[in-house]
Structure 1
Amino acid sequence: MGHTDPVTTTGPKGRRGRPPRGSATLSRERVVEAALALVDEEGLDQISMRKIAQRLRVDPMSLYNHVADKDDVLDGIAEALLAGIPAPPADGSPRERMEAVARGFRTAMLAHPKAAPTVLTRQLASPAGLAPLAAAVAPLLDAGCPPREAVHALRAALGFLVGSLLREVNAGPSFGTDPAAGGQRRRTLESAELPSLTAIAPHLAVCDHEAEFEYGLDLVLTAVERKLPG
């Protein structure tokens, strides 16, 4: 990761050669940074090695000295987002520590909502990708929770967290918050002739992501707490 190579650039007259003395050299970090900026601006489906190279003003082939392929870039983006999660308080209760990880995770994802699906839908094997997982399960193990039970609790919490964030960044089903769309959705629900849906239609037609997150997090952590030894 620390190795850098000279960057092949195109000069003012279109001639390729070594970069001017003192110019920044290419690295994995710079490639990932450029890719994340591209996703923030244009969306995840617009990312390509060619576009990343254009942002960096280098030949596309020079990128492969630092990343294996597009999948490797996407892994790098996911790792960069996860690196933004602060460490939970070491002296907090199990609930406080798990809550800190969950809130930090959500904040990190919402800082780059267009890039968040790289974290929410990919399985990472690197230390950077696994660190938040370790931080989330550590409070359970420290509280005396058996490893098997800790995995069950962790997966239940992650299921809520990933599902709610996929909806929030518009990568999953959502009724949205737009009043006009909510009104149409409410009329659709009420016309379905299903009494249970008619009863909840005003609330089901829209989604307050903040309120949904707070309610769900409290629900999950309260259930996890009840499973802890003692």
Structure 2
Amino acid sequence: MNAMTDATPSPRQPRRGRPPKAQAQLSRTAIREAALSVIDAEGTDAVSMRSVSRVLGVDAKSLYHYVEDKDDLLDAVAEHVLEQLRLPEPTDSIDRDVRAWANEFRRITLAHPQAATLVLTRQLSSTVALAPVEGILTVLRRTGRSPEGAVHLMRTLLATLIGTLLREAAAGPTFGSEDPTQIAERQATLEGSGLPQIELAAPFLARFDRDREFDFTVDLIVRLATTPISPTTP
């Protein structure tokens, strides 16, 4: 999303009309930042025109001079977070480039973990949102894959990475923990489940090491990306 001035209307053409002078401090940027503060504090479900207007100290109706509706506002927040993405400069190594791309996605996701679902799953079509797609497709085309094959592989890599990042951003104690007390409690519960494979895996299911989980995922997608293509690969 391109930066927008106070006077610039939403690209979706929100309601027309000049805002009252009392609302002159409002802008699309200010509204977007207020929405992000709501998300950081309470999650995406807490975002509404009313909750954002309370942060700004204005009437909810005044927001419609700058954003069309809640969906437009959520798109603006998602694109703003994606604007923080710093795509790594390509190197002569596909391995390094895929790892750098994955780590940069992780960085922006964990900067606003409550917005992770919003950023990683929302369908966006702006230049800002498409830039990461262009970046990873450029890397994957260097593996010798066709445009179609690169898209299939990119979607597989994204699904794997997004799943890991969403889990990291939202994992609770019942999923696994880094806290020794919670690990012990969860392990005891799993070992008493009466399920043979769960009991054997209990020490590992009870523990959730975010860095190790992410590294495992990145190793997996690097192997997928760098596996030589077969004659039948698109």
- Shorter-chain TM-score: what band? 0.7 to 0.9
Partner residue, 1:140: 140
Q: Could you tell me which residue of structure 1 aligns to residue 49 of structure 2?
A: 49
Q: Conserved in 2, the CA contact under 8 Å of 1:31 and 1:52?
A: yes
**One-letter amino acid matched to 1:138:** T
Q: 2:15 is matched with which residue?
A: none
If asked which structure has higher relative contact order (CA below 8 Å, sep 6+), I would say 2
Q: Take 2:92 and 2:36, find their aligned partners in 1: how far apart are those partners?
A: 33
Runs (4 or more) in structure 1 with deviation over 6 Å come to none
Partner of 1:59: 59
Instruction: Trace 1:1-230 onto structure 2 (pairs within 5 A).
Output: 1-2=4-5, 4=7, 7-8=19-20, 18-19=21-22, 25-170=25-170, 174-227=175-228
CA positional deviation for 1:176: 3.0
Tell me, what secondary structure is at the counterpart of 1:80?
helix
- Match of 1:114, SS state, is helix
1:228: how far off? 5.3
| Count of aligned pairs between the two proteins | 217
| Residue deviations 1:30-88 (CA, integer Å, cap 9, x gap) | 21111101211232222221121222232211211111111111111111111111021
Gaps of 5+ in 1: 9-17
Comparing 62-71 and 121-130, the one that deviates more:
121-130
Relative to 1, partners in 2 of residues 1:51 and 1:3: Cα closer, same or farther, differing over 3 Å?
Answer: same
Aligned equivalents of 1:117, 1:140: Cα separation in 2:
25
Write the distance in 2 (CA, Å) between the matches of 1:30 and 1:138. Answer: 35
Q: TM-score, normalised by structure 2?
A: 0.83
User: What fraction of aligned residue pairs are identical, expressed as a percent?
Assistant: 40
In 1, Cα distance between equivalents of 2:219 and 2:178: 22
Q: Give the deviation of 1:7 after TM superposition.
A: 4.9
Q: After alignment, is 190-199 or 126-135 more displaced?
A: 190-199
**What stretches of structure 2 of length at least 5 have no aligned partner?**
9-17
Query: Matched residues in 1 for 2:19 and 2:115: separation?
Result: 26
- Give the root-mean-square deviation of aligned CA atoms: 2.4
Tell me the CA shift for residue 154 of structure 1.
0.9
- In structure 2, the CA distance between the partners of 1:227 and 1:25, relative to structure 1 (3 Å rule), is farther
1:123-154 deviations in Å (ceiling 9; x for gaps): 22222222212212211113431122212221
Q: How far did residue 115 of structure 1 move?
A: 1.4
